[in-house]
């Protein structure tokens, strides 16, 4: 059967999702724990191949197995074998042809900025500390220009191999609670580093460097250097994925 | 001059505040960084000697120094020398006779419970994960009996050497946001493990084991075994201290 896992992790100590020749990754930790548990060689396929240091509450991985353990029980057994910074939230049987990167989906990410005078060490692992004042109203004004279907070439790492840089952002909401500014973005899919470049650009809008009304111009330029820097990985969390027809 | 520091820390990797023969503590890390910075042997005195694994956003420490560095600049210089999980929030000159444990103060602590089906690894360091359902309404009903001046002997570790077990709780508020239940307690001072025993007792109220109306009886018994267990250290954060006359 094909099994679908919902995977949460604190990415601080991992070299990202994808298998690496050096360094432990979420994918390698899952493959090892699953192979040990099920007594067969398991290779998972992930929905979102998050970068080093990026966190998740709801990434999705699938794998095929001959086990007789009911799919929904695998989460409990697997959590006993995983390190404490990776926790399976759900396991269930999937359709035999389900592939988490080849079907239409809505992905949601959150970028969290800790905006205060000094670092809060209890939040340092999953926020980006930024100590200059940020104007959330300006950031919201800029954000509205990014919603919808656009060519996001300016917001894509030059290392990307994507065929097209057109993507659709369904929603982009910015909230502030105490000293944490959260940028929550849902879309059909994201280019390499796209959410972090959007966050880095919105920070420059918030601190007064970029005029909110310049965002359409930055999109039009289709040039990575027109946008702001790539914000640090630690602020980014993949919140979840909804698949079409589910 | 006497200098007063506001100290935030992620306590996960420390053996608590107080100097220990084995293991690094917040106090030893501060003494070392201050002595290196100021070129004299510095010994800090802390307001709240938090236990191993307990966090802080606003603990207070004082020390005497001959330095010519203005007190308010010490925070910046000190943060360069401290590990990333200890961050000074403020430094300022204090009265020469100010002692953070010998003057009247209001201390505020927060105990955070992550109440969901599976652990969220991004919150595991500063919440206590508890997966059975908790009824916040019951917990609030129980909490009201603890507010005011009481003999908290039932809520004090048997290892305490306190002369009196009478303490005053000014407020005890319980909030729930998403899957985090936060118990926020302010008081004139707390007995050893008192906040964690209150949290452990309120968890047993929330899960249905203890009737909220039994709290006055638990207080009356003046017996540690009448109350619930000591909840784990990782859920506790000292939020701050207000000193009388400041």
CB contact under 8 A, A84 and B55: no
B178 has catalytic annotation: no
Q: Could you give the 3-state DSSP secondary structure of residue B50? A: coil
Query: pLDDT per residue over A224-241, tens digit each?
Result: 999 999 999 999 999 999
Residues of B in contact with A126 (CB under 8 A): 122
Check if A163 contacts B (Cβ < 8 Å): no
As a whole number of Å, the end-to-end CA separation of chain A is 18
Structure confidence at residue A163 (pLDDT): 85
Residues of chain B with pLDDT under 50: none
Residue A243: is its pLDDT beyond 70? Answer: yes
DSSP strand pairing (A2-9 vs A128-130): unpaired
CB contact under 8 A, B10 and A87: no
Whose structure tokens read 């009478």? B166
Of B87, B90, B121, the CB nearest to A85: B121
User: Structure tokens of B231?
Assistant: 């909840």
Q: How far is B11 from chain A (nearest CA, A)?
A: 8
Using alpha carbons, select from B64, B95, B97, B69 the residue that is nearest to residue B81: B69
Residues of B in contact with A122 (CB under 8 A): 8-10, 55, 57, 125-126, 237
CB contact under 8 A, B118 and A88: yes
Task: Tell whether pTM > 0.95.
Answer: no
Mean of all residue pLDDT scores within chain A? 95
Distance (Å, rounded) from C-alpha B212 to C-alpha B202?
9
Structure confidence at residue B21 (pLDDT): 85
Check if A179 contacts B (Cβ < 8 Å): no
Residues of A in contact with B10 (CB under 8 A): 121-122, 124
Structure confidence at residue B246 (pLDDT): 57
Residues of A in contact with B89 (CB under 8 A): 117-118
Least confident of A95-109, A176-190, B109-123: A95-109
Query: pLDDT per residue over A166-176, tens digit each?
Result: 999 999 999 99
**Quick one: average pLDDT of A186-202?**
96
Q: How far is B225 from chain A (nearest CA, A)?
A: 32
Check if A84 contacts B (Cβ < 8 Å): yes
Check if A31 contacts B (Cβ < 8 Å): no
Query: pLDDT per residue over B108-128, tens digit each?
Result: 999 999 999 999 999 999 999
Structure confidence at residue A96 (pLDDT): 93
More confident residue, A158 or B7: B7
Residue B226: phi, psi to the nearest 5?
-75, -25
Using alpha carbons, select from A201, A136, A188 the residue that is nearest to residue A162: A188
Residue A246: is its pLDDT beyond 80? Answer: no
Instruction: Give CB contacts under 8 A, 24+ apart, made by A217-221.
Output: A218/A154, A219/A145, A219/A146, A219/A150, A219/A151, A219/A152, A219/A154, A219/A155, A221/A154
CB contact under 8 A, A125 and B124: no
Query: pLDDT per residue over A42-75, tens digit each?
Result: 999 999 999 999 999 999 999 999 999 999 999 9
Check if B131 contacts A (Cβ < 8 Å): no
Residue A22: is its pLDDT beyond 90? Answer: no
Structure confidence at residue A160 (pLDDT): 76
User: Structure tokens of A230?
Assistant: 């790539």
Q: Which of A121, A179, A235 would you mutate first to test chain B, the one with the most B CBs within 10 A?
A: A121
Please check whether residue A105 is in contact with residue A187, taking contact to mean a CB–CB distance below 8 angstroms: no
User: Structure tokens of B203?
Assistant: 């968890």
B84: β partners: none
Residues of B in contact with A85 (CB under 8 A): 121, 124
Distance (Å, rounded) from C-alpha A213 to C-alpha A204?
13
Query: pLDDT per residue over A24-34, tens digit each?
Result: 999 999 999 99
b/e burial code for range B38-53 (CB count within 10 A of at least 16 → b): beeebebbbbbbbbbb
Q: Could you give the 3-state DSSP secondary structure of residue B71? A: helix
């Amino acid at each position: 059967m094909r099994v679908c896992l919902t995977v949460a992790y604190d990415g601080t100590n991992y070299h990202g999702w994808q298998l690496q020749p050096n360094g432990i990754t979420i994918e390698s930790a899952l493959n090892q724990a699953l192979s040990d548990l099920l007594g067969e060689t398991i290779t998972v396929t992930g929905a979102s191949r998050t970068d080093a240091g990026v966190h998740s509450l709801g990434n999705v991985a699938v794998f095929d197995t001959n086990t007789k353990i009911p799919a929904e029980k695998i989460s409990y057994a697997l959590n006993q074998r995983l390190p404490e910074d990776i926790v399976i939230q759900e396991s269930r049987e999937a359709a035999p042809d389900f592939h988490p990167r080849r079907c239409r989906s809505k992905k949601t990410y959150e970028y969290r900025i800790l905006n205060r005078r000094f670092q809060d060490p209890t939040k340092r692992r999953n926020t980006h500390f930024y100590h200059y004042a940020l104007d959330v109203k300006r950031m919201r004004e800029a954000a509205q220009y990014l919603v919808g279907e656009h060519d996001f070439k300016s917001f894509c790492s030059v290392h990307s191999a994507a065929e097209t840089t057109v993507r659709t952002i369904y929603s982009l909401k910015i909230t502030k609670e105490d000293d944490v500014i959260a940028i929550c973005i849902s879309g059909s899919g994201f280019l390499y580093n796209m959410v972090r470049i959007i966050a880095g650009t919105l920070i420059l809008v918030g601190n007064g460097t970029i005029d909110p009304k310049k965002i359409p111009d930055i999109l039009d330029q289709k040039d990575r250097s027109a946008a702001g820097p790539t914000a640090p990985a630690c602020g980014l969390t993949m919140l979840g994925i909804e698949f079409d027809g589910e």
